[in-house]
Structure 1
Amino acid sequence: MRQVLNQYPAQRDDIADLVTRRPLPGPGLPQVDPFLFLNHHGPQTYCPGNSGLPFGPHPHRGFETVSFILKGEMAHLDSGGHESVIRAGGVQWMTAGSGLIHAEISPASFKRDGGPLEILQLWVNLPGRLKMTKPAYTGLQREDIPAIPVDGGVVNLISGGFGGVRGPIESLTDVAMMTVELEAGAKVDLPAPSGRAVFFYVVAGSPSANGTPIKPQHLATFAVDGDTITVKTEAPATILYGHADPIGQPVMSHGPFVMNTREEIVRAIEDYNAGLFGKPPVVR
């Protein structure tokens, strides 16, 4: 079993009226290669007549974004013509690749009626050979995601494998991602294959990982001395969990662009300004 090395608290960094905590990047932890960035929005409750999510049209290049809608709804529109509204329990997986402009906003019904909202937004890096791949988008509702029963809970499998099941997303780099929902007294063995980087963020609760209690809204890092992480709970807990092969390449980031070199960042800005990412989606 992999030993817990450290755990890092999510830092509060609200965006307008959206409660936001960010465990990655954070003090002493620039990345968990290939996982670059995680924003934890909420949980909070919006009143009727709200302005909704503040993420209007903006560009990306060189990586993938994965959004987990835990509570509420989120609408997606992008310059590739993709459009959807994902409800609670669903996931949006977008490959920005060579360049895409997207908006992540609240649908009109949510702005009118309000309600609970909690969203996780994860950035996953791409290796240099795939940074200019064709952009793509997949929106999954809860019913599209396999819910695999475990002892005292369920694993919602988005990509990769678990318990002999494959998730509906076939990642370009074989990233495994899942959310783990556990009741009090649960126990589950999560795979942590040799050589793979592990992503372990406690959304809620205080589970133990291989005997070490992990605090709520903390990101845990692990040694590479095993291939299993055993999670136990004394109270209900929710975990965002994944594993992937480290890329091991330089990371040059500038706002919404993540490349390998400064020259590639400059080219991304020039291409965006030249309109090569397509027309921004029209937000109504």
Structure 2
Amino acid sequence: MPAQSADNWLALPKVSRPLATTDRQVLSITTAVDGVEGEGFLVRRAFAGIHHHQLDPLIMMDHIGEVEYGPGEPKGTPWHPHRGFETVTYVIDGEIVHRDSTGGGGTIKNGDTQWMTAGSGLLHIETPPESLVMSGGLFHGVQLWVNLPAADKMIAPHYQDIRGSRVRLLSSPDGGALLRVIAGELDGHRGPGATHTPITMVHATLRPGAQLTVPWREDFNAVAYVLAGRGNAGAEQRPIRMGQAALFGSGGAVTFKASTTQDTRTPDLEVLLLGGKPLREPIAQYGPFVMNTQAELIQAIEDYKRGRLGTVPVTKAAPGQTAPATEAQREHHMPK
């Protein structure tokens, strides 16, 4: 797992051990369900079984891999629209190429994050690079959707390409856990990602037997998803494993512990810790559009059909990539 790391965890700045605060209890442990995205790649719906009111301002998250593709197997997405929220694509292993209708794009890999604010809307496509399609290889990553407040739903689209080298690295007091702060703030340490909606996103690695307790803003909710390995969540030590999410209650700290033995393929417990300040605004969602009212949804669909969210660039498709969509194809890819 080549996501950003350090040779000596003990030399990193430490996350302080919370004192005189209430440890958050685990409200539920849920298991992701399998789904299919894009041109047929498998994902785990990480937050399946958690009510959207408990996730607010988070909307959903897909977990892709860890998977070893053979030659010709890597797949991407067709051109598709977004409006009204942000997508956060965190690539732990592997590589993905992004293009959009504004002419933007880029490649992220091995610990990089792309933070795309869809805002008023655009069309985009995500594909594996041609080299990965031809050779096959390892891929592991997540895509998180974060809601935008009503006042920011129609802002101009923009991007943050957050290279792994910019992620804020911290450790637990005993050096048994490494924390990568991607966005938001943890114990006064800020990550590089700027957010319209206050959230925190941390990827933690716990060595076998290590315990980690981190302070967590009391006005934020908290959910943790296990990317790899197994261990326990909460002070009450609820068992949790890869593909499961722990939803926490109120309090000022969150606790995890890695099992003393792990699989040889995944020697550590890998946890994505997320949370934010709830917007408490109405949500109206239809596929790739997340708005506040049904009228806004109808307008988003109409704008998409009339090409107001952008035009697909005319380029020749490379292996593993999808050619520009025709009007009929755009109709087909809309959710039914």
Q: Which of the five TM-score ranges fits, normalised by the shorter chain?
A: over 0.9
Match of 2:86 in 1: 64
Structure 2 unaligned segments of length 5 or more: list them. Answer: 1-22, 263-267, 319-336
Q: Aligned ranges for residues 144-223 of structure 1 at < 5 Å?
A: 144-150=166-172, 151-210=175-234, 211-223=237-249
Structure 1 residue ranges (4+ consecutive) displaced by more than 6 angstroms after TM superposition: none
C-alpha separation in 2, matches of 1:227 and 1:163 = 11
Report the equivalent of 2:254: 229
Sort the Cα spacing of 1:179 and 1:28 in 2 relative to 1 into closer, same or farther, 3 A: closer
**Which of structures 1 and 2 has the bigger CA Rg?**
2
Instruction: Look up the SS of the partner of 2:80 in the other structure.
Output: strand
Match of 1:104, SS state, is: strand
Q: Does 1:111 align with 2:136?
A: no
Shift, 1:23, TM fit: 2.6
Structure with the higher fraction of residues in strand conformation: 1
Matched, 1:240 2:240: no
For the 8 Å contact 2:147–2:197, the answer to whether it is kept is no
**SS of the counterpart of 2:273?**
strand
Q: What residue identity is the alignment partner of 2:214?
A: L
Using the TM superposition, give the Cα deviation of residue 19 of structure 1 relative to its aligned residue in structure 2, in angstroms. 2.5
1:249 corresponds to = 281
Cα pair distance change 1:272/1:17, threshold 3 Å: closer
Structure 1: distance between partners of 2:134 and 2:233: 41
> How far apart in 1 are the matches of 2:179 and 2:117?
24
Q: CA RMSD in A?
A: 1.7
Which range moved further: 125-134 or 159-168?
Answer: 159-168
Distance 1:13 1:132 in 2: 30
TM norm structure 1? 0.93
Task: Kindly report which structure 2 residues correspond to 1:92-103, keeping only aligned pairs within 5 A, or say none.
Answer: 92-103=114-125
- Equivalenced residues, count: 281
1:122 to 144, 149, 152: 144
Task: Tell me, in whole angstroms, the C-alpha distance in 1 between the residues paired with 2:169 and 2:132.
Answer: 26
- TM-score for the superposition, normalised by structure 2: 0.79
C-alpha contact 2:72 2:136 (8 A) present in aligned 1: yes
CA contact (8 A) 2:57 2:197 kept: no
Q: State the AA in 1 paired with 2:291.
A: M
